[in-house]
Amino acid sequence: MIFFARKSVQFIVTLFILLAISALPSLIVELKFVPMNYWDALLQQFHQLSQLDEITYYNRTSQQVLPLLPDLAPFIRETLIIFATALIVSTLIALFYAYFFYRSGKLVRNVLQTICQTLEMVPDLFWLVFLQFLALTLNRTNRFARIEIAGGFAEYIRLLPILTLTMTILFFFIKWLTFHVLEQETTPFLELARAKGVRPTSIFWKHLLPNLVYRFYLFFRSNMITILSSLLIVEYLYNVQGLFRFAVINPQMEILLVILFIIYIPIFLLDLVIEWLIPNAWKGGV
């Protein structure tokens, strides 16, 4: 009961914060800071909550003003496909890397850590430019001629955005997992498992990893803004027909309000379910 009460308060407070954020564009009028506009814009956003179905946007493809909510579905789908695919792929690769790191000797571990620390310092834009250059190079051959470099107003591009976002998230996850594998492998319960003759594979997947699941989730949740900001950059620079790019090219306050709600509410509900389902034994007092 206390858990749901705490989450309900969190949800209500966050909705008010999203309303406040959606009204921020009103502070700038013709490159001038006008704080007096903010209160009126905030009241307008409250009013829009009861008239979400009346919000419209300008569709550049058809050159018409259309209702927002029905037309957002394809943009939501593209963002979800790119985000979910990159997240799943980067998580799986990071987990198998952590397993390989756990089973490796000291020399191999030092090499892996050096490589990952170097790659982690590479900015997101480098992966975007590098992958586009690689795609252009491969396009010169007939075998890879269909690799797309960027999307259009009526075209979808997924491969390069997924690869770029995956590379961005991957080294982020690897750094965290490497640190915690080193931290956990000397704990007494793992030492006891080794003393009992438990195989290293079983120790990692059945003992060490479950102890990290909840902490890894908390790490991911606290860095969600960083990952979403990377997705925004990817969508905009690849011209992806996604939700974030739609928000950039349609900067109206009411559209921003709807998009913030569309992003936050599913994340909140998913977080609620995960917090409820993860066993207390896995949380370890966190």
Please compute the mean of the pLDDT values over residues 240-249 and round it to a whole number: 88
Question: pTM of the entire structure?
Answer: 0.83
CA pair distance 201, 60, nearest whole angstrom: 55
Mean pLDDT of all residues belonging to the chain: 82
Proportion of the chain above pLDDT 90, given as a percent: 9
User: Does pLDDT of 222 surpass 80?
Assistant: yes
Dihedral through CA 233, CA 235, CA 237, CA 240, nearest 10?
A: 180
pLDDT-derived band of residue 154, with 50, 70 and 90 as boundaries? Answer: low
Q: Is 147 left (phi over 0), alpha (psi -120 to 50) or beta?
A: beta
DSSP-derived letter for residue 67 is E
How confident is the model at residue 81, as a pLDDT? 93
Residues 93-117, mean pLDDT to the nearest whole number: 88
Contact 247, 41 (CB under 8 A): no
Domains along the chain with CATH numbers:
1-50+251-286 (no CATH), 73-250 (1.10.3720.10)
Tokens of 133: 């250059």
Q: Report pLDDT digits (tens) over 179-221.
A: 888 888 878 877 777 788 888 888 888 888 888 888 898 899 8
Tell me which residue of 29, 56, 54 sits closest to 41, measured CA to CA.
Answer: 29
